[in-house]
Structure 1
Amino acid sequence: MKRSDFLKNGSLLVGGSLLSSKLAANESTTSTQTMTSANQPFKLDYAPHQGMFSATAGKNFLDEIKYMHELGFRSIEDNGMPGRSVEDQKKAGDLLAKLGMRMGVFVVPKGGNGANTLAAGKQEHIDVFLKGCRDSVEIAKRCNAKWVTVVPGDYARNLPLGVQTANVIEGLKRGAEIFEPHGITMVLEPLSDTPDLFLRFTDQTYEICKAVDSPSCKILYDAYHQQKNEGNLINLMNLCWSEIAYIQVGDNPGRKEPTTGEINYKNVFKWLYEKGYKGIVGMEHGMSKGGKEGETALVKAYREVDSF
């Protein structure tokens, strides 16, 4: 072989080897980036609840919180936190603090239901509500919660609507006085579960919050309920934005994860992001599939609607 051919072939071999090494390195980097990005925090702060990842993480609440963090979630919700032991409340709060995660809402115990409605204006009903508020302050301290859910209860249909509304406002003012010194916000949730519920619409809740006039009384806007009650999600959120402190979601029909129903959550979340919303988006829904397959589908759905 001529020396010139040998050098040419050698250069090709070296060049090919370097190219192969470079391609392999790029593939490795891309693979690592893909694997890492799959577990990066989301653009919005979505908050799962216990049971959503129990097929993988097990039924221990703390183990599931750790697994949620590994998946990229940075908050949790736990409506039933008041029913946990004092020790378990503290353990959850300590773990969340260690992981840099936030505690979302829990429901004020006996805050309002069919048997205990603020609309009636009865002192015994108000007393039950205020006790729930005081208990919630202590629970919130243990688990580092800043928001608590309040539902005023059912209509008191023997009273004019304006009188019922005034009764609700007066009761909530008393509750706000309890929460304000501790920097806790009770978020009022209009619901669609039954037509007997007093609080059903966003603008109605907005009016009440304006009347209470406290940083500790704001709106919990659940897009699932409001899609059923009124629709026009983005426009009504925008109109009532100054009083909205917390968001929850679930697709409709079915109340499952985003992408399973009719709500265009990618657009809703894009709007929230551009609005500068830094609060929690509670995953207040079920799952379309069970087991590990359902958990994979759940994360995939949230990665999809978060990719705006």
Structure 2
Amino acid sequence: MPDFAVNLSMLFTELPLKQRFKAAAKAGFKKIEIQFPYELSIEEIRHELDEHQLELILINAPAGDWATGERGIACHPDRINEQQQGVAKAIRYATALNCQKINLLAGITPQNSEKAQVKSTFIRNLYSTAVACDAENIQLVSEAINTQDIPGFFLNTSDQAWQLFAEVGHANLKLQFDIYHMQIMQGNLIQTLQENIDRIGHIQFADVPGRHEPGTGEINFTNVFNAIDATSYAGSVSLEYIPLGSTLTGLSWLNQS
């Protein structure tokens, strides 16, 4: 089985974020990720990590106004300064908390914008962020997201991502491969993972449909996890799903694996 980490933004949500660290450790996890940790101070997070002997492995850069439906602004030509400020904040959190990976969300393509300008903006933001992260020994990743959950999201498939990353042209940029999104958009999970593992910087998962825990949908996670184990991938594989019931009840699949 892979080295599992847990996303505290989607699991243990029965509790306030600050209390989820303890719950994750009590459930047996050693590594965590948080989509947007910024509601807590660096000092608060450091205390929880140390108190419960946890490692923070990934955070997202700020992604605009999430509450109003924004899902990243890295492709928005008119918000480059805001994007750069958000990246600086993410790097400040990551370096202080020894977090090795930052995810930069492309965002939803802005209306009434030229496609070429949107693409070039995202490429420029990826490149500058890759350079800034590289200077701090942080891996930059960016993810493709399915068009059902987030219509209009700029990056939708692994092939599209890798073609765009080639235009960025920086070695410190890899794909955050979310099994849930990629099953919806393209399927063929095992072959894609096996043939492209060197271009993948982080892996997350949820079952399809529903985005719940393994065993609730169509994906054969035993085969997928075995396939990941057979590659050279040395990172963690993160639980990033919406528990169908309580978080602890939904972890029964893990205890049986």
Structure with greater contact order relative to length (CA < 8 Å, sep ≥ 6): 2
How far residue 142 of structure 1 moved from its aligned partner, in angstroms, is 2.6
- Equivalent of residue 232 in structure 2, options 266, 276, 280: 276
Q: Is the 1:76–1:103 contact (alpha carbons within 8 Å) kept by the matching residues of 2? A: yes
Moved more, 159-168 or 237-246: 159-168
Provide the rounded CA distance (Å) in 2 between the counterparts of 1:157 and 1:104: 34
- For 1:60-99, list aligned pairs within 5 A: 60-68=19-27, 71=28, 73-95=29-51, 99=53
Mean Cα displacement is larger for which, 84-93 or 189-198? 84-93
How far apart in 2 are the matches of 1:48 and 1:252?
18
Whether 1:126 aligns to 2:80 is yes
| Match in the other structure for 1:150 | 104
- Equivalent pair of 1:77/1:105 in contact (CA under 8 Å): yes
CA distance in 2, matches of 1:162, 1:112: 24
What does the per-residue CA deviation read over 1:258-280, in whole Å, with 9 as the maximum and x for residues that have no partner? 11110011101000001032211
How many matched pairs? 250
Instruction: Find the structure with the greater CA-based Rg.
Output: 1
Structure 2 residues not aligned, in runs of 5+:
none
Match of 2:55 in 1: 102
Indicate the larger mover: 157-166 or 273-282: 157-166
Distance in 2 (CA, whole Å) between partners of 1:234 and 1:228 is 14
Which residue in the other structure is 1:301 paired with?
Answer: 253
Deviation at 1:138, TM superposition (A): 1.1
Q: CA deviation at 1:156?
A: 4.4
Residues 141 and 52 (structure 1 numbering): CA distance in 2 closer, same or farther, change over 3 Å? Answer: same
Structure 1 regions of 5+ residues with no counterpart? Answer: 1-42
Matches within 5 A, 1:28-47: 43-47=1-5
**Kindly tell me: are residues 112 and 159 of structure 1, through their superposed partners in 2, closer, same or farther at Cα, counting changes over 3 Å?**
same
> Structure 1 residues 74, 213: closer, same or farther in 2, change over 3 A?
farther
Cα shift at 1:102: 2.8
Residues 1:255 and 2:211 aligned together: yes
CA drift at 1:214: 2.5
**Do the aligned partners of 1:112 and 1:151 also contact (CA within 8 Å) in 2?**
no
Q: Name the CA distance, whole Å, in 2 between partners of 1:115 and 1:125.
A: 13
The aligned residue for residue 141 of structure 1 is 95
The sequence identity of aligned pairs, in percent, is 25
Q: Is the 8 A contact 1:93 1:144 kept in 2?
A: no
Paired residues for 1:151-230 under 5 Å:
151-156=105-110, 158=112, 161-192=115-146, 193-230=149-186
Q: Secondary structure at the match of 2:202?
A: strand
Task: Assess, with a 3 A threshold, how the Cα gap between structure 1 residues 80 and 158 changes in structure 2: closer, same or farther.
Answer: closer
Distance 1:302 1:205 in 2: 30
Higher normalized helix content (fraction of residues): 1
Measured in 1, the distance between the counterparts of 2:126 and 2:33 equals: 23
TM-score by length of 1: 0.72
Look up the equivalent residue of 1:208 and give its one-letter code: L
CA contact (8 A) 2:133 2:140 kept: yes
**TM-score computed with the length of structure 2 as normaliser:** 0.85
Verify the 8 A CA contact 1:82 1:106 in the aligned structure 2.
no
